[in-house]
Structure formats: C-alpha cells, structure tokens
Amino acid sequence: FSKQIENFQRESLKIVKANLKSKILLERGVNIIADKIMVDNAALVKDLAFQLKGEIENLFLVIGAEIKGKPLLTVMISDSIVAEKGLNAGLIVREAGREIKGGGGGQPFYATAGGKDVNGLQAAIEKALSFLQ
C-alpha cells in the first residue's frame, strides 16, 4: 500500500514540476519560478527543488507549500546565480520567513523556512523575489 502512495506521489510530483516549468519567467538572464504548490510532504518539495535545479540553468526558484497545515518556503538558486549576483538562499529565507511567522536557513544555493502562518506564504514568496532586484 505504501508503494502505491509513493508511486502516486511521484506521479503527482511530475505534474507539479511540469506545471512549474510552464511558468518560468526569464528576466535578465535568470529563469525565475515562483509559485505555491500542493505537495503534502517536505521531502517531496526538496526533491522537486533539486530536480528543477538540475534541469534549468540560471534558476531562481521560490516555492511555497502548506504541509500539514504549516507553511513551508523553499528557495533554490543555481550556483551560477549565487556566484554572479552574490545571493544567498539562507539569508533570503531568513528574511522571507518572517512573513510566515517563522524562520529557517540553509546553504547559499538551497534553503527552507517553516512557519506558523500559512496566510503569509504569498507575501513570503514576493519577499524572496525582491532579492533579485
């Protein structure tokens, strides 16, 4: 039974990924994806972020998800963008995490923040995007 659930999650992840890829915004040489997704497992969000990083060059990815009633913000940035623009995903999620009444951190290219306020996810995504300006 858990195999079926796993297969279902993998299939739905493919759909979510295809959907995100269809929303890429190219701005000044950066492929930007910023969206809220329906995934109920933090490990799947991480998996998705790493898959997208592997498939899309110059990526700046911001994903918001609600996991068991709690908000999760994920930021993934291609190494080239980290180097070129001096961006740090860890710093970005720390700032943006305030919008969801939480915080987090991570590496310069990948970081996550959890919080208490799901209603702040859109604001958190926008805050993360503001670092690209």
d(CA 79, CA 86): 10
Higher pLDDT, 39 or 117: 117
- Whether 46 and 63 have beta carbons less than 8 Å apart is answered as no
Q: Is 94 exposed, middle or buried (0-12, 13-18, 19+ CB in 10 A)?
A: middle
Give pLDDT, residue 128.
98
Q: What integer is the mean pLDDT of 76-85?
A: 96
d(CA 60, CA 51): 13
Q: 1-10, 49-58, 123-132: which has the minimum mean pLDDT? A: 1-10
Other CB atoms closer than 10 Å to residue 37's CB: what's the count?
Answer: 18
Give pLDDT, residue 72.
98
d(CA 89, CA 46): 14
Split at pLDDT 50, 70, 90, the class of 74 is: very high
